[in-house]
Amino acid sequence: MTDKELEGRLEQAVNHAVPDDLEEILSRCKTQKGIVIPMMQNDTTSKRKKRWISMAVAACLTLVIAGGGAGYYYQSTNQVASIVSLDVNPSIELKVNKNEKVISATPMNEDATAILEGMELKGVPVDVAMSAIIGSLLQHGYVDELANSILITVEDEDVQRGEKLQQELTAQADAALASAQVNGAILAQTLQHSDQLTQKAEEYGISSGKAALIQTIVDGSGGLKTFEELVGLSINELNLIYSSQSSSASQSQGGESIIGGADGPTDIVVSNTIQTSGTASQSAYIGVEAAKTAAVNHAGLSASAVTFLEVDYDWEDGRMVYGVEFITDQTKYEYEIDAGNGSVVKYETELRGMVNTGAGASASSYIGESAAKAAALNHAGVKESDTAYCNVWLEYDDGRAEHYEVEFVVGSTKYEYEIALTSATVLKQEQKTYASGGGSTGSAGNTSGAGNSTTAGNTSSAGNTGSTTSDIGLEAAKSAALKHAGVSQSDATFTKTQRERDNGRLEYEIEFWVGTTEYDYTIAASDGSVLDFDTDRHSAPASDSTADIGRDKAKSIALNHAGVSESQTYKMEVKQDYDDGRMEYEVEFEVNGRDYEYTIDGSDGTILSYEAD
């Protein structure tokens, strides 16, 4: 209340206490004009009236001051200055006034309800409340030697005040854990309010602090991680991933994170600083050295024979894994090791430097698909009879054979190999064992080293023969592709015929060449319908570079080939372009939900490539 407002309130109080009777007094004087009125002094009455007036004024002044003081007191004790969230797996939110006393304590999930049971924290200093909550977390077993990480987040529009409170609470939490003889690990951050961050937290039923930490990890992953896959992790697991990510990328712990979504990131800064103290517990996992040993043993090597490039924590297919990378003089190895049991979840090898793949050699010197398949199966240590399916094909690049691709599934493990054309050398290999789903048909099948996973069991992977879905067969799928392309089987050279499963649907991938044109088809295994196709002409005929068929002619050629009229199309676009000095027309349109893309030679109208999806 200002001085002017206070003077006004006092004047009003005095006016009410001493009424203005001047007019009435004067009127009475006129009535009794000429009459002598004896005036007798009464000291007692005068003193009483004066005392009464003084008391009235004092009482009013007291009410004014008391009223203002009460408002100020209410405002200072009930207005939220900071929001403190404490996350382990239980998540608790404390609203705090500017005197750092708790206004309210709210459990953010079911686990947190038990933590706060029996506590009356309203009016308690927030550092005392912090100690009480950590004590309850310890008592209920949420913080121990297996999971020792705690996330403390202070949300405050006053950044300096927020950071000061964050540091005080972090020190208090460290002290509480130390007194309980627990080697804790604290993640602490200061935020400013963001509606987008709040919406993100509410969408997944987590605190704003945990949402900010997850988004920081996602943004630092280079697109390899998503918010959705990390949201169910504990703070200790997130701490391990964050620490590994920061260490491997040589990042400082400070930085900014941007909230993203299905429509891309926004310009909302959700985390200013993440400070860490202590080390996240690894007691629930086999440890870095054991993970390195499992990977090296699986590769059939010794630790002394390799150079380790990186070992870090990651989250893969619903489980915590170690990412282990190492090299020898000739080969690079990348492994994912289950952090809980040491099994090999995934591995990939690739030859380093120049390797003679046989590319450019005559086809007569190729080892053939059967030999390439045998080389891959032998390397994996499995028999073809053990596989759910085994596909092999020649892989081409710009019309030239590069290597053989071999792909097969055993139980819940998928294998992919690149085999040299002329020597059966394994150029590259990748193995992935899936953890979700049941119905395993057996082990992953690789007996070449320790650490092979035998428990995973997802039989829904590509080519599973246990499906009840109808299957027209390979020959019928090839015939469907040839018929759609309008070519005969005698004119076609097949380079890939593969059955696989995509989004639960059984499909055939058919690739073949006719002259210099490559055809790629995806055929539904259930009824032989064409799901996707494209063609690519790898060497165009000589043409007069000065001729130009024009946009309308290019559009007409594409429409005629597709068998549709322009009135049936949607989003028709015709663009002139140049490729290696040759003028071309790019024609794109949509018909009944299918997108068509054509490349037309601008000089003679030859269809160089087309795709419909």
579 beta partners: 582
Average pLDDT over residues 206-234: 86
576 touches 585 (CB < 8 A)? yes
Lowest mean pLDDT among 29-33, 429-433, 458-462: 458-462
Query: 20 is written with which tokens?
Result: 């203005």
Query: 132 is written with which tokens?
Result: 């009480």
Unique residue bearing structure tokens 């085999």: 419
Dist CA 359 CA 265 (whole Å) = 44
Which amino acid does the sequence have at 343?
S
pLDDT at 58: 54
- Domain of 74, in residue numbers: 1-22+46-78
Which amino acid does the sequence have at 515?
G
Three-state DSSP at 124 gives coil
Is the pLDDT reported for residue 293 higher than 90?
yes
523 touches 601 (CB < 8 A)? no
pLDDT tier for residue 580 given thresholds of 50, 70 and 90: low
Q: Do the domain assignments include residue 362?
A: yes
Q: Do the domain assignments include residue 140?
A: yes
55 and 92 co-located in one domain: no
Average pLDDT over residues 213-226: 84
Query: 382 is written with which tokens?
Result: 């499995």
In three state form, how does the secondary structure of 274-312 look? EEEECCCCCCCCCCHHHHHHHHHHHCCCCHHHCEEEEEE
Q: Do the domain assignments include residue 322?
A: yes
235 and 335 co-located in one domain: no
227 touches 260 (CB < 8 A)? yes
Lowest mean pLDDT among 171-185, 244-258, 360-374: 244-258
Which strands form 594-601's sheet, in the order they lie side by side?
493-502, 505-514, 517-524, 530-537, 607-612, 594-601, 582-591, 570-579
In three state form, how does the secondary structure of 438-487 look? CCCCCCCCCCCCCCECCCCCCCCCCCCCCCCCCCCCHHHHHHHHHHHHCC
Please return the burial class of 60, using the count of CB atoms within 10 Å of its CB with bins 0-12, 13-18 and 19+.
Answer: middle
pLDDT tier for residue 546 given thresholds of 50, 70 and 90: low
Residue 77 has a CB neighbour count (10 Å cut-off) of 14
352 and 249 co-located in one domain: no
pLDDT at 18: 41
- For CA atoms 66, 67, 68, 70, the dihedral sign is positive
Q: Do the domain assignments include residue 266?
A: yes
pLDDT tier for residue 602 given thresholds of 50, 70 and 90: confident
Three-state DSSP at 271 gives strand
Is the pLDDT reported for residue 509 higher than 80?
yes
Lowest mean pLDDT among 3-7, 208-212, 494-498, 514-518: 3-7
pLDDT at 446: 34
pLDDT tier for residue 260 given thresholds of 50, 70 and 90: very low
Dist CA 458 CA 467 (whole Å) = 12
- For CA atoms 417, 420, 423, 428, the dihedral sign is negative
Is the pLDDT reported for residue 518 higher than 70?
yes
Dist CA 316 CA 404 (whole Å) = 29
Q: What percent of the chain has pLDDT over 70?
A: 73
121 and 203 co-located in one domain: yes
Dist CA 96 CA 129 (whole Å) = 11
* DSSP code of residue 578: E
248 and 298 co-located in one domain: no
168 and 306 co-located in one domain: no
484 and 425 co-located in one domain: no
Q: Do the domain assignments include residue 206?
A: yes
In three state form, how does the secondary structure of 29-71 look? HHHCCCCCCCCCCCHHHHHHHHHHHHHHHHHHHHHHHHHHHHH
418 and 518 co-located in one domain: no
CATH code for the domain in which residue 602 is found: 3.10.450.40
Is the pLDDT reported for residue 539 higher than 60?
no
- The total of structural domains in the chain comes to 4
pLDDT at 15: 46
519 touches 535 (CB < 8 A)? yes
Domain end (from 405, 433, 461)? 433
Q: What percent of the chain has pLDDT over 90?
A: 20
531 touches 524 (CB < 8 A)? yes
100 and 190 co-located in one domain: yes
335 touches 313 (CB < 8 A)? no
Q: Do the domain assignments include residue 36?
A: no
- 575: part of which helix (H) or strand (E)? strand 570-579
Alpha-carbon 372 to chain mean position: 39
85: Cβ contacts below 8 Å, ≥ 6 apart:
91, 92, 93, 94, 108, 151, 152, 153, 155, 207, 208, 209, 210
Is the pLDDT reported for residue 151 higher than 90?
yes
Q: Do the domain assignments include residue 545?
A: yes
155 touches 86 (CB < 8 A)? no
52 and 94 co-located in one domain: no
Is the pLDDT reported for residue 440 higher than 80?
no
Alpha-carbon 164 to chain mean position: 30
In three state form, how does the secondary structure of 366-378 look? CCCHHHHHHHHHH
Q: What angle do CA 373, 375, 381 make, to 5 degrees?
A: 100
Lowest mean pLDDT among 165-179, 244-258, 267-281: 244-258
76 touches 98 (CB < 8 A)? yes
Could you give the count of Cα atoms lying within 13 Å of 164 in the half-sphere of its Cβ? Answer: 10
pLDDT tier for residue 220 given thresholds of 50, 70 and 90: confident
67 and 114 co-located in one domain: no
Domain end (from 242, 277, 312)? 277
215 and 313 co-located in one domain: no
Q: What's the pLDDT tens digit per position in 116-126?
A: 998 999 999 99
Q: Do the domain assignments include residue 37?
A: no
pLDDT at 48: 54
- Model-level pTM? 0.50
pLDDT at 504: 63
